[in-house]
Each structure stands twice: as structure tokens, then as C-alpha cells.
Homo-oligomer: A and B are copies of this chain.
Amino acid sequence: MSLAQIEYFVAVSETGHVGRAAEALRIAQPAVSRQIRNLEDELGARLFVRSARGMQLSEAGDVFLEHARAILAQIDDARRAVQARGRRSGEP
């Protein structure tokens, strides 16, 4: 599991399409498709139901989405907190 995979997953969840997500992320579709598949393989669960019109969250995917957003938010918090503290007392 990588942060990129989590970001890709959230993008696909929000757009409902691998293609739209890839466009928003400024990368090509296959990269997104592969990472989603890798993530599903690692977790041992299908996160999306594939249909001919796009990607719909499965139950497991729905559960994961909340956690994924929390993780990304926490990463952001961490970055902000350490940068604020780092500037105050840190480097030359």
C-alpha cells in the first residue's frame, strides 16, 4: 500500500471513472488501473464493481474510502504541523 494508491483510489471513487480520475491526476489511465488492482490484490478485496459505464464502490470500497480520506487528511496535518514547528526553531 502506498500513498499514491490511496490518492488514486479516492480520485476514482470521486469521479466514478478510471479515465476521469487519471485526467484529474494528470497521468495516464493504465497507471491508475494498475494501482487500483494492486491495492485490491494486497487488501484481498474488490474495492469497486466494474460496469461498462465506470467504477462503483463496493461495500469494502465504501468502508475503505472513509479510512483513505482520514489517512490523507492526517498526512496533511503532519506536514503542516512539522513545517510550522520546523520554521520556528529549526534550520539556519
Residues on the B chain within 8 Å of A43, using CB? 79, 82-83, 86
Interface contact A71-B67, CB-CB below 8 Å: no
User: What does DSSP make chain A's interface, helix, strand, loop or mixed?
Assistant: helix
A51 in contact (CB, < 8 A): no
Total interface residues in chain A, CB < 8 Å: 32
Q: 0/1 per residue, A6-45, Cβ < 8 Å to B?
A: 0000000000000000000000000000000000000111
Q: A43-B86, A90-B46 are in contact. Are A2 and B3 (CB under 8 A)?
A: yes
In the complex, what distance in Å separates the CA atom of A59 from the CA atom of B85?
A: 7
Selected from B47, B79, B91, the residue in CB contact (under 8 A) with A46 is B91
Interface contact A63-B82, CB-CB below 8 Å: yes
